[in-house]
Amino acid sequence: MKISTFLTAVPSAVPSAVLAAFLVVVGLGAPHASAETLLERGTYLMESIVACGNCHTPQGPNGPIAGKNLAGGLLFEEPGFVAVSSNITPDRETGIGSWSDAQIIASIREGKRPDGSTIGPPMPIGMYRGLSDWDAQAIVAYLRTVKPVRNVVAKSKYEFPLPPAYGPPVGSVPNVPRDDRVAYGAYLAGPAGHCMECHTPFAKPGMRDFENKLGAGGAEFHGPWGTSVSADITPTALADRSYADIKARITTGTRADGARMAPPMAYPFYANITEEDLQAIVAYLRTLPAK
């Protein structure tokens, strides 16, 4: 199965000033009190809002291929490159089983492999630089429990040079207080789930217009289903929609009239988002500037 996402020459960059402002909005700076273990948190994230399996699990005509969870092989074709999602199971030869925790986190947040090479588009997601240390470690804890799958995937091919780095090394990123609903919703829709990445149009090749059109939609996605366009998720579109309507769209891919929405949104994963987290996401979206 292949997916074309209208990504351009490099992964969508989040300008440092914009990311800094975004992190101020989400209120990073104080860890939340939680009885969750790293593995519990990682399991929840990976099976819901983070949804790495949506891209890293190969797909057949009837959905995910059995026995190859997170084993890579999903194809992304764009002008200028053909990318293949990597095997992120603990297999030591074809996956990430030989990588340290820090190396896995660097690959997620910085797009850097253990050998120092950079990962090409569609990774890394620029907003992942704001993923908290706790959540990054939780994701790693989950990945360590996944069944190792030996699966050699084809090498991604790029017709342009990849940059030596996508930015400076990411320092320590604190948790977002969950009792601040809007701030936590911004974190879930940003660094955790990168909703704002796909729902923001490009201003120019490789650069989404976060400053002027955050959440305004308009990005095209091409695949076996045809062409889908990311929706406007600012109050311009959401003002007259109920929470129940928005929830159904996110978790089941169903519009108010019963019509089914097209991929590539990870509806089966989003169905596992807790009610509290969904409410936080919607609360945040309702605070966005109308577009």
Please determine, for residue 103, whether its predicted confidence score (pLDDT) is greater than 70: yes
Contact (CB, 8 A) for 32 and 19: no
- Provide, rounded to the nearest whole percent, the portion of the chain with pLDDT above 90: 78
What confidence score (pLDDT) does residue 227 get?
87
Contact (CB, 8 A) for 84 and 73: yes
Separation between Cα atoms, residue 262 and residue 240, nearest integer Å: 22
What confidence score (pLDDT) does residue 60 get?
87
Question: What are the residues facing 64 on neighbouring strands?
Answer: 59
DSSP reduced 3-state for 107: helix
What confidence score (pLDDT) does residue 214 get?
97
Give Cβ neighbours of residue 263 (< 8 Å, ≥ 6 apart): 221, 223, 225, 228
Half-sphere exposure (Cβ direction) of 7: Cα atoms closer than 13 Å: 25
Looking at every residue in the chain, the average pLDDT score rounds to: 90
Phi, psi of 164 (to 5 degrees): -65, -25
How buried is residue 114: exposed, middle or buried, by Cβ count under 10 Å (0-12/13-18/19+)? middle
What confidence score (pLDDT) does residue 222 get?
79
Separation between Cα atoms, residue 108 and residue 211, nearest integer Å: 24
Contact (CB, 8 A) for 143 and 101: no
Q: How far apart are the first and last CA of the chain?
A: 34
- Give the other-Cβ count within 10 Å of 35's Cβ: 5
Chain segment 219-260, per-residue pLDDT in tens? 988 777 888 999 999 999 999 999 999 999 999 999 999 999
Chain segment 128-186, per-residue pLDDT in tens? 999 999 999 999 999 999 999 999 999 999 999 999 999 999 999 999 999 999 999 99
Residue ranges of domains in the chain: 2-285
Confidence of residue 10 (pLDDT cuts 50, 70, 90): very low
Chain segment 33-47, per-residue pLDDT in tens? 457 999 999 999 999
What does the CA dihedral 128, 250, 89, 122 come to, rounded to 10 degrees? Answer: -50
Which pTM was predicted? Answer: 0.89
Contact (CB, 8 A) for 187 and 26: yes
Separation between Cα atoms, residue 22 and residue 24, nearest integer Å: 5
